[in-house]
Structure 1
């Protein structure tokens, strides 16, 4: 069955709600699905914090992986929210439980989460 725009939006909303409800139940009851903010979107789920700082979560429920564009979108939303870090929560097909879904983030975002700051982005210009 192919998705049309309406069914894709419904699937996305349902996935966001699934993840937000799971996080609210297991982490903090203030975590919730956010409404869209157009060009100033701040991620799909609000209220996620680490070390007292906001974390942006961008949710994706699609068959086709597009990690690069998703990470770019999450980074833009992180900036809009002035958050510590951003991650993409994406559908693991064949698995319906929230805890079984995938979370993807860059190594830079992982370092920001562990350190509690983004200082390494300003101080390093490493090349392979």
Structure 2
């Protein structure tokens, strides 16, 4: 059976909820799914912060085809800019497991450095 737009949206919402709940239980209870906020998307998860306090944007992907890391990292970068956040991370569904802890976390090295140092360096 192929995915319809409705089934893809439902799968995406379920995946976002699982990731938000996992992060809230282990990082900060204020983390939650972000309410949609118009054309300036700011990611799927709210209230995630780096140790330095800078905001981290999370773009969740429960995809039906193949991994598209370059495209998704580009989306996360746009959302990071929209939110004036420190870094952007993509959390992508790992086929074969529903365990939130086993999903892929994808980011650029610049985003990893920003999270670790608390500073966004020019690229």
TM-score (norm 1): 0.91
2:94 is matched with 92
Superposed CA offset, 1:10-29 (max 9, x none): 00000000000010011111
* 1:60 lines up with 2:61 in the alignment: yes
State the 1:98 CA deviation. Answer: 0.5
1:73 is matched with 75
Which structure 2 residue ranges, 5 or more long, are not aligned? none
CA distance in structure 2 between the aligned counterparts of 1:54 and 1:79, rounded to whole angstroms: 11
CA distance in structure 2 between the aligned counterparts of 1:4 and 1:11, rounded to whole angstroms: 10
Higher relative contact order (CA 8 A, sep 6+): 2
Moved over 4 A (4+): none
* 1:37 lines up with 2:41 in the alignment: no
CA distance in structure 2 between the aligned counterparts of 1:117 and 1:39, rounded to whole angstroms: 27
State the 1:91 CA deviation. Answer: 0.3
Superposed CA offset, 1:36-57 (max 9, x none): 2232110000010011111000
The number of residues matched between the two structures is 121
Which structure 1 residue ranges, 5 or more long, are not aligned? none
CA distance in structure 2 between the aligned counterparts of 1:21 and 1:117, rounded to whole angstroms: 27
Classify the secondary structure of the residue corresponding to 2:39: helix
CA-atom RMSD in angstroms:
1.0
Classify the secondary structure of the residue corresponding to 2:29: coil
